[in-house]
Amino acid sequence: MKRFKATIVIALLAVMMMVLCGCTTWDNFKAAFIDKQDPETTIQIGVLEPVTGADSKAAEDEIRGIQLANKVHPNVNGKMISLVFSDDKSDIDATETAAKTLVDKKPMVILGSYGNVYSLAASPYIKEAKIPAIAITNTNPLVTRNNPYYFRVCYVSANQGDLLARYILESEKEAEAGVLLPRDDDVALAEATAFTDRMKAETDDDDSIAYYEEYTIGQKDYTEVLTKLAESKVDKVFLPGDYTDDANIINQAADMGLKVMFLGDSEWENPEFFNMLSNKVRSSNIAFVQFFSSDNSGIEGEAITKERRSFLKAYAEEYGNGSEPSEAMALGYDAYFVAVDAIDKAPDDASAEDVQKILSDPQYSFEGATGLINFSKSGDPIKTAYINTWQKGKMATIYTVEALK
């Protein structure tokens, strides 16, 4: 309290000097009295995000998740945590400057950035500075590849195909499935390959993928591929690709009376996808991967962690009970807490490099709001995932896929 009062007095005196002298700018005052951090009493966590520009709206939930976590747990090892923001301005060139500026401030950990391309642009500077960084919603495998200082708290795209195959095998007890994917889409192909590989490996049957068709991106009429689907008798079909195309395919299948469950990646959590679905589509027609869901009905007991309950409580207090937290917000919350947990487990006089060693330890684990989190050698998470569907405009969890080491 004494230190707080002293800070106020100093700040007021500085303002008076500015008024009387007229020679001190606000920027000078801000740098001298607000931005200056005492290393003896604070620990810095960097936040690299597009605060402005075209991607700023999409990045908001990541930032809110970080800020909510900081409000819940604002200190570690007896020191206050200072969030140091650096705006990459939704621009690759600006990201390089923002990354350089941020690493120069020597934070213990960096969180972000939203957008695969921005994290990739920042990656060399993070690696050179030897500061661990945690990506939040980046699904591109290149973000963490060949950079021992970059981690992430969400699955890469290809892993989502594997998770959906596990759902088919474990929950639905299906020995065969189908794949319908867009041509010339590398991400969709990677997801489909992971899906088919898991199905074939677990069933020991190369014919477990009984239906495999392609369509053209932006196509409007899917009668031909859906007729082949009906003839195949397959009732579980993996559908990677753009969710606009996915919604059109699902709607047309419903119009044709096909009783098929289509399987999608985490993009299907977007309300825009749900709003594209026709009234003929039932919850039994769709299932998709998600890294978090506020619905507890389909979640096993051990997945309802202490941090999950804390997150939902904090969210309700901050934003009210009328809305539900997004996946990105929960992942932002977890990224912050993973950083704090690693700092806490490091020695009192630890460097950022020491924190990286904690995260890289094969024995490291953290039970977050989105489930148990471990990191692979590549910095990717080995964690809980949820299979969800849409029910009356809300997401509902129908299966929990436990982490496989």
Per-residue model confidence (pLDDT) at position 168: 95
Predicted TM-score of the model (pTM): 0.83
> Minimal CA–CA distance to 287: which of 256, 250, 342?
250
Which strand (E) or helix (H) includes residue 323?
none
SS3 assignment, position 359:
helix
Q: Is the pLDDT of residue 323 over 70?
A: yes
CB contact set of 298 (below 8 Å; sequence gap of 6+): 386, 387, 396, 397, 398, 399, 400
8 by Cβ neighbours in 10 Å (0-12 / 13-18 / 19+) ranks as exposed
Q: What would the pLDDT profile of 46-79 be if each residue is shown by its tens digit?
A: 999 999 999 999 999 999 999 999 999 999 989 9
Q: How big is the chain, counted in residues? A: 405
59-97 core/surface letters (b: 16 or more CB in 10 A; e: else): bbbbbbbbbbbbebbeebeebebbbbebbbbbbeebbbb
Q: What share of the chain has pLDDT > 90, as a percent?
A: 75
User: Quick check: 337 and 68 in contact, CB under 8 A?
Assistant: no
The CATH number assigned to the domain with range 158-290 reads 3.40.50.2300
Per-residue model confidence (pLDDT) at position 384: 83
**pLDDT bracket for residue 21 (50, 70, 90):** very low
Q: Please check whether the two domains, 41-155+303-383 and 158-290, share a CATH topology.
A: yes
Q: Which of 52-61, 76-85, 107-116, 295-304 has the lowest mean pLDDT?
A: 295-304
220 by Cβ neighbours in 10 Å (0-12 / 13-18 / 19+) ranks as exposed
> Minimal CA–CA distance to 82: which of 74, 90, 93?
74
Q: Mean pLDDT, the chain, as a whole number?
A: 88
Q: Is the pLDDT of residue 206 over 80?
A: yes
Per-residue model confidence (pLDDT) at position 307: 84
What is the topology classification, in CATH, of domain 41-155+303-383? Rossmann fold (3.40.50)
Which tokens is 196 given? 């088919």
CA angle 160, 198, 150 (to 5 degrees): 40
Per-residue model confidence (pLDDT) at position 105: 97
Hey, where are the domains in the chain?
Answer: 41-155+303-383, 158-290
CB contact set of 76 (below 8 Å; sequence gap of 6+): 43, 340, 343, 344
